[in-house]
Amino acid sequence: MLGNVSFRLKDVPLLSRSTIDRAEHARLDPGALREGWGKAKILRIDPRGKVRVEGDKIVLDAAVSVAAEPGDRTVFLGVVDGSHLWATRATDLDGTLRDLRTLGAVDDFTAELLSTAYALLNWHDRAGYHGGDGTATTSARGGWSRLTATGEEEFPRIDPAVICLVHDGADRVLLARQQSWPETMFSLLAGFVEVGESLEHCVEREVREEVGVDLRDIHYLGSQPWPFPRSLMVGFAAVGDPAQELVFSDGEIAEAHWFTREEVRAALQVGDWSAREPGARLLVPGSISIARSIIESWAD
């Protein structure tokens, strides 16, 4: 069966789905934030990115049980069911702990909540001091910016990266395994966007550097935040020639192979990397990644 050269994503990637009212206007009203604190809920996240869970649900605490008012490393995430929602770092979590990668199936609300909280808190962990003069910064806008001693406002940094499914325009797809990954774990080719480079040029460069394949018919598919620690993954598809020799010149790729659509469909049935299926030749990324969404859309 021939594939569609310009296929589209079947669904919005999990971490891109929006269910929370971010209430941007409230970030500029410290009085409203303090007033809402009394009925607010707060998500506590430890330095490893783990949260407390009960059953299959994450635990949200009453904000006033954690602190009398919002702190410097507390971030306002929005409004849910009329109540403010916050997140903060915690070093004293007990009970059953999970992170975004190990929670298993999560709903849209949990996915957005964790991905936003992860990214903001990861940034705050690194932004406590100004990069120019080393002076301390303070939180502003409910945790969505930080102020320097001179009043300069700094905002969370996002690192854009591209991720690309390379296929032959028919029934095969090129998947690769990084040096650090166990055998049988494969994914799409990806890399960070360089200064002065467009997204499309980045796709061409990264694929050429990692496997030596030239591309045509590059087209955009969709994007997804990836808060490990603060990336935005921009998804593409492109056509490559299976007859072209694979060359691993940058040292990141251990191996790459052209897999058939049926092989990919079989891998999708197995599950994902966490399955560690004995004897499996191919395992693909899990449901929280845009890589999985792209692979599923191509294989459908």
C-alpha to C-alpha distance for 53 and 88, rounded to whole angstroms: 16
Coil/strand/helix, residue 90: coil
Strand 61-62, strand 41-45: pairing: antiparallel
Tens of each residue's pLDDT in the chain, 300 residues: 344 567 999 999 999 999 999 999 999 999 999 999 999 999 999 999 999 999 989 999 999 999 999 999 999 999 999 999 999 999 999 999 999 988 878 999 999 999 999 999 999 999 999 999 999 999 999 999 999 999 999 999 999 999 999 999 999 999 999 999 989 999 999 999 999 999 999 999 999 999 999 999 999 999 999 999 999 999 999 999 999 999 998 889 999 999 999 999 999 998 777 766 666 789 999 999 999 999 999 999
| C-beta pairs of 105-110 under 8 Å, 24+ apart in sequence | 105/56, 105/287, 106/14, 106/288, 108/14, 108/17, 108/18, 108/19, 109/19, 109/20, 109/80, 110/58
C-alpha to C-alpha distance for 222 and 198, rounded to whole angstroms: 16
Q: Please, how many CA atoms are within 13 Å of residue 97, restricted to the half-sphere of its CB?
A: 15
CA distances from 225 to 71, 108, 133, 145, 238 (A): 25, 13, 30, 18, 21
CA distances from 177 to 31, 66, 185, 224, 284 (A): 51, 43, 6, 21, 10
C-alpha to C-alpha distance for 299 and 258, rounded to whole angstroms: 13
C-alpha to C-alpha distance for 102 and 98, rounded to whole angstroms: 6
pLDDT at residue number 93: 96
pLDDT at residue number 1: 36
- Please check whether residue 240 is in contact with residue 166, taking contact to mean a CB–CB distance below 8 angstroms: yes
pLDDT at residue number 6: 74
pLDDT at residue number 2: 43
Tell me the helix, strand and coil percentages in the chain, rounded to 5.
Answer: 25, 30, 45
C-alpha to C-alpha distance for 69 and 16, rounded to whole angstroms: 30
- Please check whether residue 50 is in contact with residue 26, taking contact to mean a CB–CB distance below 8 angstroms: no
Region of residue 243 (left: phi > 0; alpha: psi -120 to 50; beta: else): alpha
Element (H, E) at 238: strand 231-240
Q: Which domains does the chain have, with CATH numbers?
A: 16-154 (3.90.79.20), 158-299 (3.90.79.10)
pTM of the model: 0.93
Coil/strand/helix, residue 283: strand
Element (H, E) at 175: strand 172-178
- Please check whether residue 172 is in contact with residue 259, taking contact to mean a CB–CB distance below 8 angstroms: yes
Element (H, E) at 24: helix 24-27
**Can you list the alpha helix ranges (DSSP code H) found in 159-287?**
199-211, 261-270
pLDDT at residue number 136: 97
pLDDT at residue number 116: 97
